[in-house]
Amino acid sequence: MLLEVRDLKKHFPVGSGLLRASGAVRAVDGVSFSVDVGETFALVGESGCGKTTIARMVLMLERPTAGAILFDGKDLAGMSGAGLKAYRRQVQAVFQDPYASLNPRLRVRTIIAEPILAHERSGRAALRRRVEEVLDVVGLPAAAADLFPHEFSGGQRQRIAIARALAVNPRCIVLDEPISALDVSIRAQVLNLLADIQERFRLTYLIIAHDLALVEHFSTRVGVMYLGNMVEAGPTDAVFDRPRHPYTQALLASVPRPDPDHQPPLDAIRGEIASAMAPPSGCKFHPRCPRAIDRCAVEVPAWRSLGRDHAGACHLAEGA
């Protein structure tokens, strides 16, 4: 087990007056999952469900309100100094927008070299070789190192961002919507590149996505998020072939199909998502669930097994 998240919570206080908090946004409200070495775990769900907040906590850009994140068996909360620096080297990120994540004032050589210089002493010749090595890995020529980000297409910029993440030989990469800002014509190229890199370097991926077609093609396991909670998780083929939670079923039913005779169930999910400041009682999805019963409004569903490595939190879901 490389990465483990235990009952993770992140609540953002909301103030109503000077130095006074009136409540909290429960962005993440008790999420647990684990990611093995070499696999791709995807977090999916509507905007605002908490998946990006989880990614930010894994990257230590946000501190958890409660719960724990363990990497290689070590709790991030207890890390400092050399241990913290080693963790930051082993866990890198590729962000959604390659137009915003690369400094436009720096040449590609400097952009890729920055994380190397932050983590190790390196001579000029060795640094140049390493930059050219990772550019070759992502399919860009060595001459690209002397250019600025604006001289590249969106797909090429994302390749540069991937090269920057690879520069310090990480073990895990957090991918936050890695292809959503790219043209459709080059998304498959970037995904194939990420798959090739993962196999070559035995990398572990934590991917944040709302594109279910991407998740089905690219991930090993998937966790479905709703309003700060995980409602279903398991191997990707199991979740996609036999979804048990009504929210997962509705998400998959909403995926467009290349069939002119297919009529999507537009009423599968009713109403609007509730506020994370005042979530519904019981199952948070029950106000919008077409199958909800009285029990759903008052009792929080327990997390339970739905089959081999497949689990969920729904009163109506049955085990295998």
Residue pLDDT, tens place only, 133-154: 999 999 999 999 999 999 999 9
Confidence (pLDDT) at 10:
97
Residue with tokens 């908090």: 21
Confidence (pLDDT) at 138:
97
Domains of the chain: 3-14+23-219 (3.40.50.300), 240-320 (no CATH)
Half-sphere exposure of 298 (CA within 13 A, CB side): 3
Confidence (pLDDT) at 317:
84
Confidence (pLDDT) at 299:
96
Sign of the CA dihedral 229, 33, 235, 179? positive
DSSP codes of every residue in 141-208: -GGGGGS-GGGS-HHHHHHHHHHHHHTT--SEEEEESTTTTS-HHHHHHHHHHHHHHHHHHT-EEEEE
Confidence (pLDDT) at 320:
46
Whether this prediction's pTM lies above 0.85 is answered by yes
Q: For the CA atoms of 262, 314, 30, 44, what is the dihedral angle to 10 degrees?
A: -10
Residue 38 vs residues 91, 111, 205, 283: alpha-carbon distances, Å? 13, 27, 7, 33
Q: For residue 288, give the DSSP letter.
A: G
Residue pLDDT, tens place only, 18-63: 555 568 999 999 999 999 999 999 999 988 899 999 999 999 999 9
Three-class secondary structure of residue 292 per DSSP: coil
Give the chain's residues under pLDDT 70: 16-22, 257-268, 319-320
Confidence (pLDDT) at 4:
97
Confidence (pLDDT) at 259:
65
Q: For residue 78, give the DSSP letter.
A: G
Confidence (pLDDT) at 38:
96
Residue pLDDT, tens place only, 149-161: 999 999 999 999 9
Rounded-to-integer distance, Cα 318 and Cα 320, Å: 7
